[in-house]
Amino acid sequence: MALQEDLIVDIPPERVKFFGTTGKMLLPSTATVEALIARIPASRLLTTSQLRQKLTEQFNVQGTCPVTTRKALKAIAQDAHGNAPYWRVINQNGGLITTFPGGAAAQAAHLQAEGLVIEAGKTPKVKDFAASLAIID
């Protein structure tokens, strides 16, 4: 279930190593993640790590929960009425996200329609994805 509102919680002790610090962590709502995704221009990309980093900066916390972010992203992708270009979010290594509706093939089709080149492989990747990363202030 997606969060209805953003929550800021203490980083749990078992996650301190992952975040590399103690302090506060954002559990982003679907609406917050969707608002950020909506700002990604056509033919541009954002990695899941960049997405979490932007949210971390926006909320002035030490980290953003990757699990909650992934759940929100999945909810956005599955929303038949949504307009957020979720397909512009890729994995840190440029790989496509296989859990989106239609899997990597559907995401690849969206990205190819925007002029990006997809490399085939076990998990398809965006070719030279670093050159297509968005800069969102």
pLDDT digits (tens, 9 = 90+) for 59-104: 999 999 999 999 999 999 999 888 899 999 999 999 999 999 999 9
- The stretch 50-64 carries a mean pLDDT of 97
24-27 and 7-10 as β-strands: parallel, antiparallel, unpaired? antiparallel
Give per-residue pLDDT as tens, 4-49.
899 999 999 999 999 999 999 999 999 999 999 999 999 999 999 9
Tally of domains within the chain:
1
**Segments forming the whole domain that contains residue 17:** 7-132
pTM of this structure: 0.92
Query: What CATH number does residue 28 fall under?
Result: 1.10.10.10
pLDDT for position 94: 96
Residue 136 pLDDT level (bands cut at 50, 70, 90):
confident
Residue 22: inside a domain: yes
pLDDT for position 123: 86
SS3 sequence of 3-23: CCCCEEEECCHHHHHHHCCCC
Residue 2: inside a domain: no
For residue 3, pLDDT beyond 80: no
Residue 90: inside a domain: yes
For residue 137, pLDDT beyond 80: no
Question: Residues 6 or more apart from 51 whose CB is under 8 A from it?
Answer: 33, 36, 37, 69, 73, 89
For residue 2, pLDDT beyond 70: no
Residue 137: inside a domain: no
pLDDT for position 83: 87
Residue 1: inside a domain: no
